[in-house]
Every structure is written in structure tokens, then in C-alpha cells.
Amino acid sequence: MADLHRFANPTRFLKLAAIIQPWALAVFLLSAAIGLYMAFFTAPADYQQGESARIMYVHVPAAWMAMFCYTVMAVASAVSLIWKHPLADVSARASAPVGAAFTFLALATGSLWGKPMWGTWWVWDARLTSVLVLLFLYIGYMALQGAFDDRVRAAKASAILALVGFVNVPIIKFSVDWWNTLHQPASVIKMGGSSIHPSMLWPLLIMAIAFKAYYVWVLLVRMRAELVANKVRILRLKQVHGG
Amino acid sequence: MKQFAFLVRRDLSLAFRQGMDSLLVVVFFVIAVVLFPFGVGPEPGTLSRIAAGVIWVAALLSTMLSLERLFQTDYDDGSLELLALSSLPLEVTVLAKVTAHWITSGLPLIVAAPVLAVLMQMDTDGFLVLVAALLLGTPSLSLIGAIGAALILGSRRGGVLLSLLVLPLYIPVLIFGVSAVDAAIGGYEFKAQLLILGGFFIGTLALAPWAGAGGLRQALE
Amino acid sequence: MFEGKELTCIRGERLVFTGLNFAVGSGGALVLIGPNGAGKSSLLRMMAGLLKPASGKLLWNDALALDDIDEHAENLHYVGHHDAVKPVLSVLENVRFWAGVRGGDVSEKNILNALDVFDAKHLADVPGRFLSAGQKRRVNLARIIAAPAPLWLLDEPTTALDRASIALLDSAIRKHREGGGIVVLSTHADINIESATVLDISDFAQGRETKGAA
């Protein structure tokens, strides 16, 4: 019976989640307010790109989160495959749509930014192209999750896919960079790095914190919902099989 | 090793007796490429510029089409569990099945590619490199595809799902495969691209059987 | 000696059985019974190493069987619901392949002898696609004769077999046990196995047990 314990309700996690969740929401609201204020009012407009460069304060943290969520997903998948921890499974599954949403946000803001910069909605810039491929990886992962009737199988199959995808991300990044320098040597914007001015760096970092807090909040909401849904499903199964 | 050869031989003879299957893949490859002149117009200049890319993309798509059945029939008729229960490690089984898959679907593509290159007005300087790049690249496609084919076993949307999982992972092979041919046609050095394709092959050879076997194990549970 | 200790099976979040023990000695037979969904097939797949137990262990001659799955697989033959007969290969080729994959004797004589045990020798040249369900099952059973292994795991082997074929299976099992082999099979009770241990799996389903007690 002791081994069945891990399939029981993770009450400790639920308790902890209930404590963290409002804090995460508070941190998100506060840092988003400060970050956006700084982005719009205290940060200087870019001397070349003007006011439109302010979209960077959403675009760059979103792109960071896109990669961050995929990493979380891959690590959680590894944990669930190796130690079979049920919470790892749930968190990987819950991370995927959030990460996909951030990836989409990064693409959309990149495209909006591209219009005044390049005069077109889409440019096959190395950075944007890699993010686009990342979005495909997310979609594949979520499609595989949804393709099985058996939840346990869905979790295992998509965990393997997440790991395979994670190994491939740097390879894809490298390939796309190579491909891009080959085809359009000069159109890449130089951004980030150590040369960025503190008046621009601060709002960027605060926005990054806001996005992280938002992620934690949504993740907890989704995980709690998932756990409740699990409970319902198990009750149903018991009904069917005469528990 | 003897059992490995045994398994490859069995898959080959299965493929040859169902001859149409691998033939259809080549036919698809040819048709997909032939569609392009209708799409972009028959000007030799345009065609020859996109030739390498078109042939590679068509090769990716046809490889992917043939992948769906890599494990599916064995899964459906119970052969897969018996293969998992042979003394052969499942990783080796995956490798054997991939080898057979490449011989029956990768190799015919490589044979057909120069003909298509002629139709697409490709510069003759690119022919040898195209074949070499396909020789180095298509095994990686089969290996990566095997992971996807194992993961979708027993799922509701087989084929479409497989393309969604596998095609993004094919991008690096596509980039360097096309770049090698273009470099050769432009008179540049193409050794680096071929070496990288070779590197991809070695890398996938080392990793894909593990991931594929992991996929099969969870499918059989 | 093949033993299971405190085995627990969970399928798709459902507890199928728990605390299940069994032991079969050389020459012994274990017959699994129980209603649909009790976990007969799951237990057999677990014994084969296809399904990992959620807890508990399997012992083969006092060694942990699942530590080296490939070695465990060499000791057993598993006959499941599907017969693994390829439609485009002849019966002979089908059986020869399975014997060869296990490193067994692939000579024509050996394969034909194995087919003869289940009265399927005359089918040797027939492609798999022409076989009836019962014939396929006999071919599948001939496979386990062609490359011998001490442990037979048979999941409802009598499905689709007629009375005469069941008798053939019966005597094949007897012969296997006389040679020290072990047989575990699940059945809806239409085969007569002498001096077999009977294991009713529904005894280990927790839900039913408590309900029965109440």
C-alpha cells in the first residue's frame, strides 16, 4: 500500500500552492505596473527607432519566457520519466500552453515591431525564425498530449518528445543562424548584450520579473485545476469498475 | 549481429512483397517536385535557383509519408511485442527497422533525385553534391522520424500528428542539405556543410535509437 | 522457479490488482482465472516484462527477473491476443523469422516439426493472408515450439481453436512440463490442465474485496 501513496492526492503541494498563488499574482500586478510605467515614461526612446522600440519591453521578456517555459517542460518531463513523480507530469502539461502563448506573443510583438523597422510585417530574421520553430515544437507537444485517450500514455509520449525537442533546440538555433547569415547578412538588429543602457535595462528586467510571476501564477492555477480534474476522473473510473 | 541482419532482411522482404508501398513514395517525390514548375512557371532561371530547395523539401515530405507505417503494422498485428521480447535490445531493433526503412525509401529517393535535378534545370555542378548530401542527410531523416513514428503508436491522429512532430526537427538537415548544393553550384566550398550533415547523422545515430526504443516501450505498456 | 511477490498493477490510473503473489516451480502450471478486466492479460504482460509493476518484484530462479529484461525475455515465450502472422510471408517464413530472431534453429526440418505439433505442416507454403483465425493461432503456437524457452506465458491460447487443436495444445503443454518447463495461462476454462495451481485474480482487486466483505 505504501507505494500507492504517491498516486494519492498531493495535499502538501495543494496547500503550498494556495499560499504562493496570491503572492505570485501580487508580484505580477505590481511589477507589471512599474515595468510598463518605466517602459512608457522613464525609458528613453531609441535614437534610431524612436518610440516603436518600446515594444521591446514586452517582446524581449516574452521571448525569454518562451525558452524558459520549454526548459521547465523538458526538465519536468525528465523528472517524470526518471522518478515518475506525478507532479512533474502535471507541471509539464500545464507549462506547455503558457509557453506557447509567450512564444506567440514574442512573434506577434516582433512582427509589430518589424513593420516600422523593416517596413514589413515579417522578415526571416534569425531570431524570429528560431522562435517560430519553437512555436511549432510547442504545438507538436500539445497535439501529442491531446492525441491519446489514456492520460498516462499521453504523459509518457509527450515527455519523450519534450526531451527530444530540447536536445534539438540549440541545433535548430545554430542552423537557423547559419542559414540567416548566408541569406541576409546585414538586416539583423543588434540588441541586448552588455552595451544596453541602464535606463533601458531596468524596465526590461522588471518586465521579465512580471512575466515570471505571471507564469508561476498561471502554472499554479492550471496545476490545481488539473489535480481536481484528476480526482474527478479517478472517481469516475471507480464508478465504472465498481470500487 | 546475426539477429540484426535477420530483422533487416525480414523487413526488406516484407517491403518487396508489398512492392507498391516504397514505389509510391518515389512517385510522390517525383509528383511533388513536378508541381513546382506549374506553380512558379517554367523559366529555367527561376527553376534552377530553387531546384535544390524544392528537391530537399520534397524528400523530407516523402520520407515522412513512409514513416507512418514504420512501426504501425508491427504494432497492430502483435509483432512489435514479440520483437520487444526477443533477446535483441529494443534499441537494436529500432536501428534494424530504420536501416530497412532507409534502404526501401531513402535510397530510391537518392536514385530519383538526379533525374528531378535535370527536370528542375539544376546546374550540373550540383548533381554530385546533391547525391552526397542526400546520402548523408536521409539516414538522419529516417532516424529522427523513427522517434516520431514510435511516439504516435496508438494515438488518434497518426499521420498528421507525425508530420507536426517530425518536420520541425528536420529543419537543420534541410538547411545544410540545400546550402551544400547551392555552394557547389555557386563555386564555393561545400565541405563544411557535408561535414555538418555527417555530424547530424552520427549524432542522431547515437541518440535516436534510445529515444525510439523509449517510445516503443511506453507504447507497448 | 518463477515467483511474483506483492505485485501491484495500475492501468491508466486504475488500480487493477495489488498484493498479488504467485509461485510456479519447474514442471508446474499456473492457471489464471477471473472476470473481464480483473487483470489476467495485465499480469501475463507483467510476467513477460512488457508492463512494469507499480510495485512488487518478479523472481526467476531467485534472481530479479526485471533487472535484465533482455535476458528474462530469452527465458520466455509470450502468446498474446494477436498472432503476429505477416500476411505476405508464408507460414514457414513466419515461423522461421521468429525462431531466427531468438537465435534458434532455422532449418526447414525444425520449423516443419514445430508446425507438425499443431497439425499445421500442410500449411507451410501458404501465405499468412489466407489463414483462418484458428490456423493463425496454431502458427503462432508453433513459433514457441520452434525455439524452445522454459517459460510459456499464454494469454487465452484456446481462443479460435477447435476441440482437436485444443487437445494438441494440451499435449504440447504436457510435454513441455514433463521436460521441466513452466506454463502460465489465462483461460475461460475450456482447457484441462492437470495438477495446475489456479489463481483467481479478482481476489486481489481491492475494490471488490472490500465490497465482498461488506
What is the interface pTM, i.e. ipTM, of the complex? 0.89
Q: How many structural domains comprise chain C? A: 1
C114: distance to nearest CA of chain A, Å? 37
- Alpha carbon of A96: minimum distance to chain C alpha carbons (Å): 22
Percent of all residues in chain B with a pLDDT value above 70, rounded to a whole number: 100
Packing angle of the helix pair A126-146, B158-186 (nearest 10 deg): 160
Scan residues 138-157 of C and list those with Cβ closer than 8 Å to A.
none
C140 occurs within a structural domain: no
C-alpha Rg value of chain C to the nearest Å: 18
Q: Is residue C83 part of a domain?
A: no
Average pLDDT over residues C80-86: 90
Domain that holds residue C3: 1-75+188-214
Whole-angstrom Cα distance, residue C10 to residue C1?
A: 25
CB contact under 8 A, A160 and B156: no
Residues B161-188 have pLDDT tens digits of 999 999 999 999 999 999 999 999 988 8
Grid coordinates representing A203?
524596465
List alpha helices for C52-201, DSSP H. 69-74, 91-101, 108-117, 133-146, 163-178
Query: Residue C93: pLDDT above 60?
Result: yes
Output the CA–CA distances (angstroms, integers) from residue C119 to B23, B76, C59, C107, C176, in the order listed.
38, 27, 35, 19, 17
pLDDT above 90: residue A139: yes
Contact check, Cβ <8 Å, A241/C8: no
Among B78, B113, B95, B71, smallest CA distance to B3 is for B95
User: How many of the other CB atoms lie within 10 Å of CB of B206?
Assistant: 10
Residues 6 or more apart from C65 whose CB is under 8 A from it? C2, C49, C57, C58, C59, C72
**Residue A210 grid cell:** 512580471
Mean pLDDT of C72-89: 90
Tell me chain A's radius of gyration from C-alpha atoms. Answer: 21
**Where would I find the beta strands (DSSP E) of chain A?**
none
| CB contact B207 to A (< 8 Å) | yes
For an interface test with B, give the residue of C76, C83, C101, C131 to mutate (most B CBs within 10 A): C101
Nearest CA in chain B to A131: B168
Report pLDDT digits (tens) over A63-80.
Answer: 999 999 999 999 999 999
Which pTM was predicted?
A: 0.88
C103 contact A CB<8A: no
Tell whether C162 is covered by a domain.
no
Domain-located, residue C19:
yes
Q: Where are the alpha helices (DSSP H) in A119-197?
A: 126-146, 151-183
For chain B, the domain total comes to 1
Determine the Cα–Cα distance for residues A119 and B118; give it in Å rounded to an integer: 38
Helices and strands (H, E) in chain B, number of each type: 10, 0
With respect to residue C25, please indicate whether it lies within any of the assigned structural domains.
yes
Cβ distance C60 to C72 under 8 Å?
yes
- The span from the CA of B23 to the CA of B68, in Å, is 15
Residue with cell string 547523422: B201
Asked if residue C93 belongs to a domain, the reply is: no
What span, in angstroms and rounded, lies between the C-alpha atoms of C135 and C128? Answer: 9
pLDDT by residue (tens digit) across C138-175?
999 999 999 889 999 999 888 888 888 988 998 999 99
- Confidence class for position A56, pLDDT limits 50, 70, 90: confident
User: Residue A236 — very low, low, confident or very high, per pLDDT cuts 50/70/90?
Assistant: confident
Q: Is residue C136 part of a domain?
A: no
| Cβ–Cβ gap A151/C12 under 8 Å | yes
Q: How far is CA B178 from CA B53, B132, B133, B190, in A?
A: 6, 11, 8, 10
CATH of the domain at C201: 3.40.50.300
% chain C with pLDDT above 70: 94
Give a yes or no: residue C167 inside a domain: no
Give the model's pLDDT for residue A195: 58
Range of the domain at B109: 2-220
Residue A163 reports pLDDT greater than 70? yes
Are residues B171 and A176, on separate chains, in Cβ contact within 8 Å? Answer: yes
pLDDT at A186 over 70: no
Per-residue pLDDT tens for B83-138?
A: 998 888 899 999 999 999 999 999 999 999 999 999 999 988 889 999 999 999 99
Pick the residue from chain A with its C-alpha nearest to B170. A172
**Whole-number Cα distances in Å, A176 to A162, A187, B169:** 20, 14, 12
- Under the banding of pLDDT at 50, 70 and 90, the label for residue C195 is confident
Instruction: From B75, A152, A233, A242, select the one nearest C37 (Cα to Cα).
Output: A242
Task: Give me the amino acid identity at B165.
Answer: L
